[in-house]
Amino acid sequence: MRWRISTLLLCTALGAPVTLISLNYLTTVRAQQATPQRVPVERDFEAGETADPKWPAASVRAKQAMVVTDERRACEVGIEILKRGGNAVDAAVAVGFALAVVLPEAGNIGGGGFMLVRMADGREAFLDYRETAPGAARRDMYLRSDGSLDAEAATLGARAVAVPGTVAGMEMALSKFGTMKLAQAMAPAIRLAAEGFPVSEKLARTLGAGRARLGQFPISKRIFLHGGALYKPGDTFRQPELARTLRRISRGGAAEFYKGVTARHLAGEVHRMGGILTTRDLADYKVKVRQPLHAKYSGNSLQTSIAGSEWEVVTAPPPSSGGIAVISALQILAPIDLKSVEDPQTVHWIAETMRRVFADRAAYLADDDFNAVPVRGLTDPRYAAERRASIDPQRASSSAEIHAGNPAPFEAPGQPVGWRQVEGASPRGALEPMRWSERELAHSDDTTHFSIVDSAGNAVANTFTLNDSFGAAITVSDGFLLNDTMDDFTTQPGTANKLFGLVQSDANAIAPGKRPVSSMTPVILLRDGKLSFVAGSPGGPRIISATLLAVLNWMRLGMDPQAAINAPRFHHQWMPDVLYVEDTLPEAVVRNLEARGHTVKVRTWIGEVEAVAIDPATGDRLGAADARREGAAMGLPAPVRWAIQTERNPKLEMRPQ
């Protein structure tokens, strides 16, 4: 059953006139279906998923600025910084450190990530603060004497730890684009750690779900499991050790973390627990400031509901695989008539595109500082046309027969049609293909994303991670968890890695100082040269699919930003040959896809996209939080929600935040 909605945009609280907007799209009622009931899927509570998402009816609207994160208290911190006169980057750094306190399964100072920054004056940067392999790391370090893989060693305990990059990344962002001192940006996080905060139902669930891993390490058990008693909703969660560490960093900067007391404590404890991280590794860590990838096209040159606009995608270069994947997918889909993410034909086209993009990802993506990545070829529209031609519009392909393409002929600059040449791409030779498949996706993923836009139009999309939920599960005496990012490398060529089940080759093999390939995909869209959309997601390889779908929903389908985030998602990553769909996708669509030859599996959350859109008519910031993991959006000044009038909600009502 479907129903049409129309929306009243109420801006009277902001001094603007009341405007009636007809959105003219269909929304599926997430209620009873006239088809057989599905078997309930198991929720991923360790990753913060909620069993019963409260889908927001509409985005949060604000005139000045917007902060959208996985955690409401982190939003409050971002707003606090903006109220004090900070810009989007100041707020981003404050939010990053706050998430290390209030979202311990994902926020961190013991992990790493990517920050995409675009300032209102056109300056931009991709800050790569991804973790790196320690100097003593070796390609065979997780192999036993008989040659078999010790997969657990790469995901649990001290041997799984890579050199953290978060603290250096946050300081670099502040120094290049911020206006505040580090101590000012870190003050809210220090306060939260020292004074504590009430444990939410979500945090209590997440900590409880992590009990098996965290309980193996005494400090983790004491801090995060309340000594084994577990925290209950309403308990006060204080982290005095973390507060002291954050205070030291706020005074001494990143140098304190990488060369000071914290560095000595960290390296010493990891060594005593059997790890290989050293003080030299920490002292040698460097943030990479990279050029973002750009791709432009005209709305008149493709099938779209928003004709006439010039769009530009700004996104992540290697070692992220996500930016190339999103651009490649958009190119393949450019001439295709997309109708709705609940239209079987549209889902089929996108799924087949995902299949090919992930096959290429498996073969060619690596740390571009160590291995040449054919960025130009993979993102050339002529190569996209070749990949598109292999798609049957009606029938599913077989992943056993679909392999990576050959982008090498397109590495030389060409004459793109619709899409212009991607900037920031290095025309280097193609790699020896590597087979990168996944045997399973049901895992806990410890990544988080936030998006921020300030009153001047500065924008930040930041995704950072500990890799697995709670990382390697070990907490040092200074009160913070450490990552298990070493499992993102090829731990044994031809053998699936522990966390993601990835079968990899030498291009992503372990080497000292190397960054492992990542799926993290922060993205910024420009429309007619102006900021339009800021987004990203956690979710391992599902990050790419979730982010791509959000971009398509906003840019191609013209959906309201909140509807774009609420919409059902799906994911195909070549191997295994399975189309994963969320349980909110209508049963009739699933049956149609199966009839086309897709092997469909219903699963839980596919990404947690936190997005900020810009109203092209008013310039208002529209915060679209993802309910799958109870995301939050807060605006400046105090926003109001759009009131929704439907057959089930005949009354119009204001719902202030």
Cis peptide before 319 (omega within 30 of 0): yes
Cα–Cα distance measured from residue 499 to residue 253, given in angstroms and rounded to the nearest whole number? 33
For 85, left (φ over 0), alpha (ψ -120 to 50), or beta?
left
Q: Which two tokens stand for residue 38?
A: 């599905």
Residue 57 in 3-state DSSP?
coil
How remote is the C-alpha of 60 from its chain's centroid? 21
Helix (H) or strand (E) holding 8: strand 6-9
Across the beta sheet with 643-645, the strand order is 19-21, 6-9, 643-645
* CA–CA separation, 506 and 407 (whole Å): 19
Cα distances from 91 to residues 77, 82, 98, 309, in angstroms, run 8, 6, 10, 31
Secondary structure tally for the chain: helices H, strands E: 18, 27
* Residue 245, both tokens: 């560490």
DSSP 8-state class, residue 274: T
Contacts of 105 (CB under 8 A, 6+ apart): 46, 47, 48, 206, 207, 210, 446, 466, 469, 470
Residues 177-194 as b or e (16 or more Cβ within 10 Å = b): bbebebebbbbbbbbbbb
Q: What is the 3-state secondary structure (H, E, C) of 566-597?
A: HCCCEECCCCCCCEEEECCCCHHHHHHHHHCC
Dmax (CA) for the chain in angstroms is 74
Helix (H, G, I), strand (E, B) or coil at 112: strand
Do 332 and 297 touch, CB atoms closer than 8 A? no
What is the DSSP pairing of strand 600-603 with strand 579-582? parallel
Helix/strand/coil for 161: coil
CA atoms within 13 A on the CB side of 421: 13
Q: Please give the DSSP secondary-structure letter assigned to residue 477.
A: T
* DSSP-based three-state secondary structure for 31: coil
Find the helix or strand (DSSP H, E) in which 462 lies: strand 459-467
DSSP state of 490: B
> Cα separations (Å) of 143 from 146, 173, 563?
8, 38, 47
CB 317 within 8 A of CB 291: yes
Among candidate residues 353, 447, 463, 547, the one labeled active-site is: 447
Choose among 109, 104, 79, 105: nearest CA to 92: 79
Distance CA 313, CA 310 (A): 10
- Reading the block at residue 186, the tokens are 């870190």
Mark whether 447 is an active-site residue.
Answer: yes
Instruction: Select from 155, 212, 113, 117 the least CA-distant residue to 543.
Output: 113
Q: How far apart are CA 437 and CA 277, in angstroms?
A: 29
* Region for residue 424 given its phi and psi (left: phi exceeds 0; alpha: psi -120 to 50; beta: otherwise): left
Residues with active-site annotation: 447
